[in-house]
Amino acid sequence: MTMGPPATEETRVNARPQPHEARFDAAFSSCPMIAILRGLVPGEAEAIGDVLVEAGFGMIEVPLNSPDPFDSIARLVRRHGERALIGAGTVTATDEVRELARIGAALAISPHADPEVIRLSREHGLVSVPGVMSATEAFSALRAGAHALKLFPMEIIGGAGVKALRAVLPKGLRLIAVGGVDATTIAPFHAAGCAGFGAGGSLFKPGQGTAEVAANAARLLAALDSCRDDA
């Protein structure tokens, strides 16, 4: 009888059912764009969330360098957690992962690829999207169990960098462009090999009202739809 390699702690963690994986797959297929609400304050979380969910966003993150981010995330989870995946960006520490799990968040998105943060995110049932720039970081993140990879900062990696990474990374792996994403860059980033996008300043800036955010969302989603139709 031929036996496979013994299960390691890493493979045991990665094999566990992850409650938000199917929702992430569905949200990504429907609208592969993450709303990045850097600078959001808790008092405006519900109103901005209403606009984004109505526009069609199924993934929303509040970076943890925003004011009272866990409060904003908790408010969004209570209001829209059944309709959208809500979570945090700029997740850099394991205690942040534990707090996200406690308040019912679904996403843990990082600017870097820390295997410990990725593994703990999976252990707590969160979808892990670490940031990478190189093949070394990318493969390390995948070994730790990342669900998708965030190419950050995309304005530095560029289209040539994406194509080079695509040549060596697993086919079907979801690469998400973050940094420099706006209505004019979505198409070239998509053509280079990015399957998804994280829209920050082109979607939301602190102090913007719901009407302005709605208009920004419409422009971004129109650009996304256009390049997907052309694919």
Domain assignment present for 9 = no
Domains identified in the chain, total number: 1
Asked if the structure places residue 3 within a domain, the reply is: no
Q: What is the CATH number of the domain that holds 35?
A: 3.20.20.70
Q: Domain containing 206: what range?
A: 30-230
What pLDDT, on a 0 to 100 scale, did the predictor assign at position 228? 80
Report how far residue 180's alpha carbon sits from residue 186's, in angstroms, rounded to the nearest whole number: 9
Q: Is residue 209 part of a domain?
A: yes
Rounded CA-CA distance 96/117 in Å is 9
Considering the domain boundaries, does residue 17 fall inside one?
no
**Does 81 reside within a domain?**
yes
> What is the predicted pLDDT for the residue at 231?
63
The answer to the question of residue 16 being in a domain is no
| Assigned domain for 8 exists | no
> Which are the catalytic amino acids?
61, 150
For residue range 147-188, what is the model confidence (pLDDT) as tens digits? 999 999 999 999 999 999 999 999 999 999 999 999 999 999
- Beta strand residue intervals within 37-187, DSSP E: 59-63, 85-89, 107-109, 127-129, 131-132, 149-151, 175-178
Quickly count: other Cβ atoms within 10 Å of residue 33's Cβ. Answer: 28
pLDDT for 9 equals: 41
Q: Which residues of the chain have pLDDT under 70?
A: 1-18, 231
